Amino acid sequence: MRLLLAVMLAALPLTAQEVAVPIDSAGRLAVISRDLERRIQLFPEIPGFLEARLFQAPDGTFTLEITHRVDGRLARTRRTLTATEAAAFRQRVLDALTGGARNALLDHSGRGELLRGAFVLALGYNGYAVPIALDVQDSRTAVGLYTITAAASFFLPLALTAQAPVTQGQASLAMWGGVRGIFHGMMVAAFFDQGSDRAVFGYGLVGSLTEGIGGYIMAGRMNLAQGHADAMGMLGDIGAGAGLGAAYLLSSGTDTDDDAIWAAGVLTSFAGVWAGHRLARWEHTTRGDVGVFRAATLVGAWTGLAAAYVANSDRVVDRDGKPEVAGTLLGGAGGLVAARLLTRGRDFGTADGTIVSIGALGGGLLGAGLGYLATPEGDAENGVFLASAAGALVGFGLTYAGTQAGARHNAELGAWSVQVNPLALAMRDASVRVPAVTVGVRF
């Protein structure tokens, strides 16, 4: 009887749980961190302050939980507040934020990444592109414009984001747009037959700035998480490669075909961005998931390229590379399917994605080296290609196997679930209704 009662009680939902609530009356701040406390000084009497959170109980009372250190050990101080006291405290927090820490309500978690990326982008491209786009002939002036552009690429975003949020999703999508916008702009220049250095670098500069700013605005309005933005960028890259390759396979070598190739690259890139958005909406996607997804797709593409190259290595004349492009596209498509299956229902950490990516690259390099040493000099190319593809597959497989067990498994989206509770009949006369059968679906 006691066992049956224990099972029945365990089946009932808990009703005395406290839930975390915003700690300010505006409902935008979840926790007072140590850095924020140094600025607003709400708990000067608490030594070693670490953080403070507010919890609400089902009976309407509140608990202020303060985590701090006492003699080097972690401690928690809990204060019970009535609804009136909690409202007064939350208003006090809001007043402190409004008066001395206005930026505390802004999410600046991605600001460092955005500023670093913009500065590196200027050093690597924008600084060079500005004097070329302006057709500066004097080397002294060109050097001056390069350094000014590099400096402005840091200080201008620094000033513009001082009173604006910069989430990790905004930083990620902005940097994807800033880098890929260069290639999109250059593709547009090629489409319009603008082949001069000034036009190519100018279009690339405009594309970088436009897509970088557009990515920041889009991620902010859509409230994108970092993994969501990364998925959009990753599939945008895959879409661009697939579009360029497919258009090249369908081309016949005329100038009109060249224009179609560049146009296809731009259009399919943005189609990939949309596909990445849909993928991340369908299932929670982390930055680690994107790393594994990208690695699996690239390994598949490299394997297809290697197989096609070796199969057509006896062709000496009229080698247009189309068999290799077709092999790359087919292998990439297979890798894309495998990537979806391997990441579905799992949340890989950022480190996991990095490990799998480097594992695939390292395996490919190891295979290439062993293949080069093991094959005769005349057949070295074929041996390197095949051994490199095999090494990449093995490296990916080993590192994936070592990380996937620790990835959190989510319930399969769209999967039906049926649960039967045999205690329902025994409790049919009880005051608490217990369903006999529960049917659900995740979507």
| Residue 442 in this model has a pLDDT that exceeds 80 | no
| Residue 417 in this model has a pLDDT that exceeds 60 | no
CB 264 within 8 Å of CB 246: yes
Confidence band of 47 (pLDDT split at 50, 70, 90): confident
| Residue 421 in this model has a pLDDT that exceeds 80 | no
Q: Across all residues in the chain, what is the average pLDDT?
A: 85
| Residue 16 in this model has a pLDDT that exceeds 50 | yes
Tell me the per-residue pLDDT of 382-394, one tens digit each, with 9 for 90 and over: 889 999 999 999 9
Listed range (155-164, 232-241, 373-382) with the worst mean pLDDT: 373-382
pLDDT value for 72: 84
pLDDT value for 148: 96
pLDDT value for 400: 95
pLDDT value for 14: 46
Tell me the per-residue pLDDT of 279-313, one tens digit each, with 9 for 90 and over: 999 988 999 999 999 999 999 999 999 999 988 87
| Residue 103 in this model has a pLDDT that exceeds 90 | no
Confidence band of 2 (pLDDT split at 50, 70, 90): low
Listed range (25-39, 150-164, 324-338, 407-421) with the worst mean pLDDT: 407-421
For residues 342-357, give the mean pLDDT.
92
| Residue 348 in this model has a pLDDT that exceeds 60 | yes
pLDDT value for 24: 86
Question: Between these two residues, 105 and 205, which has the higher pLDDT value?
Answer: 205
Q: What percent of the chain shows pLDDT beyond 70?
A: 84
Question: Between these two residues, 212 and 321, which has the higher pLDDT value?
Answer: 212
pLDDT value for 380: 78
| Residue 330 in this model has a pLDDT that exceeds 50 | yes
Confidence band of 412 (pLDDT split at 50, 70, 90): very low
For residues 316-324, give the mean pLDDT.
72
| Residue 141 in this model has a pLDDT that exceeds 80 | yes
Confidence band of 9 (pLDDT split at 50, 70, 90): very low
| Residue 427 in this model has a pLDDT that exceeds 80 | no
Confidence band of 408 (pLDDT split at 50, 70, 90): low
Listed range (363-372, 399-408, 434-443) with the worst mean pLDDT: 434-443
Confidence band of 436 (pLDDT split at 50, 70, 90): low
| Residue 429 in this model has a pLDDT that exceeds 80 | no
Listed range (3-7, 36-40, 280-284) with the worst mean pLDDT: 3-7
